[in-house]
Amino acid sequence: MSQQLPITTSYITLGQLLKEVGVIDTGGMAKWYLAEHEVLVNGESEDRRGKKLFSGDSVTLADGTVIDLVDAE
């Protein structure tokens, strides 16, 4: 399953993305989620909730969902 997430700023953090797509309820859950589940950013394993994500980046969640970041129009 793949989806696009438009961003209006130059970047968002991985923790913000997880909250935005509904994987976690609060920003504080991001650290726990990343410790318990494998998340890939552009094909590389990532566990930093503060990792900056830019338009063009791709995030793959543990359940196989792929989220592509795009510029908001």
DSSP secondary structure of 7-58: ESSS-EEHHHHHHHTTS-SSTTHHHHHHHHS--EETTEE---TT-EE-TT-E
pLDDT for residue 5 is more than 80? yes
Percent of the chain at pLDDT > 90 equals: 90
The tokens of 60 are what?
């793959």
The tokens of 14 are what?
């991985």
Return the pLDDT at 52: 98
Instruction: Determine the average pLDDT of the residues in 20-31.
Output: 92
Give the domain 2-71 fold.
Answer: 3.10.290
